[in-house]
Amino acid sequence: MTATASDATASEAAPAAAHFRFFVLEVLRTRRLGHSFLRVTFGGESLAQFRSGGYDQSLSLFLPPAHQEHTVLPSTDEDTWFGAWRAMPDADRPVMRSYTVREQRRTPEGAVEVDIDFVLHGDPAAAAADATAPASLWAGRAVTGRRIMAIGPAVAENKSVRFQPPAATDALLMYADETALPAAAAILDRLPADARVAAWFEVPHAGDRLDLATAADADITWIVREGGAGKQRTERVLEELRASELPVAHAPYVWLAGEAGTVRAVRRHFVQERSIDRRAVRFTGYWRLGASEEELLAEAYSGQAPSEDPSSEL
């Protein structure tokens, strides 16, 4: 979604706390994209105030437990919601998960729709038994009319859009695993025809290689994991990178997102082995092998989360 003049005015006038608000998202339809991907299209009256900044715009979804049809939160007040949510009984507390907006659009009738792509983990029975995959379980059971809540952007220029290449950028280098592929695809959607891109996208299965539309001059390498995990998957990604020839550029910009350990290793590769200025590398750990999102959330609120500052140590 392209920012309008009114969006920019709102961004300048609104205090930081007003950049995000609660939205009620209603499932309109679902569509299977590949072996592991399911797109859920949401609507709802409150989306009239939703202002995605595009690219890798993130938001927080609150998914109801399996025994509830819709999300119920005790508070949506910006000062009290977090404490009220944490105080809910474990069995009734909606699961909070971070996702990216694949696309926001306005229909011919004037309604706003938002697409969010979910990664599905195996068959529904396996997902139901896996307590670490509640979002996959919910998405696999999503039907028209189900409602969830989200904290999302009320202005287009907000800190949850991390893709911010300098104006002088003359080549874009990208790495994403399946969790970050929707964000990478949204970035490619918006790039101009004169943009040069080298991208490495890691997916679980051959059937997850998607046809990604872009006007840019993009060279995309698919890394199919097919069961590899941990150090094995990281080494395979690094092998692909080391075997690749990068586009000649004076001011490259690097965008990396996915499993935190692999992202850190890929960052080291570009900075130490490819001599790219670390300040030109934007990296985000969407998840971490062996850690639940609840643990990562606790780290973030305690100030113990690893730094994603480009100047931080490798």
Q: Take residue 63 and report the two structure tokens written for it.
A: 């998914």
pLDDT given at position 230: 60
Query: Domains in the chain, please, with CATH?
Result: 5-153 (2.40.30.10), 171-302 (3.40.50.80)
Among 240, 241, 282, 291, residue whose Cα is nearest residue 261: 291
Separation CA 263–CA 265 (nearest Å): 5
For 3-52, what is each residue's pLDDT tens digit? 333 333 333 344 455 799 999 999 999 999 999 999 999 999 999 999 99
Q: Take residue 259 and report the two structure tokens written for it.
A: 């499993």
For 45-104, what is each residue's pLDDT tens digit? 999 999 999 999 999 999 999 999 999 999 999 899 999 999 999 999 999 999 999 999
Helices and strands, number each (H, E), in the chain? 8, 12
pTM over 0.85: yes
Helix (H, G, I), strand (E, B) or coil at 200: strand
Neighbours of 167 (CB within 10 A): 5
For 181-205, what is each residue's pLDDT tens digit? 999 999 999 999 999 999 999 999 9
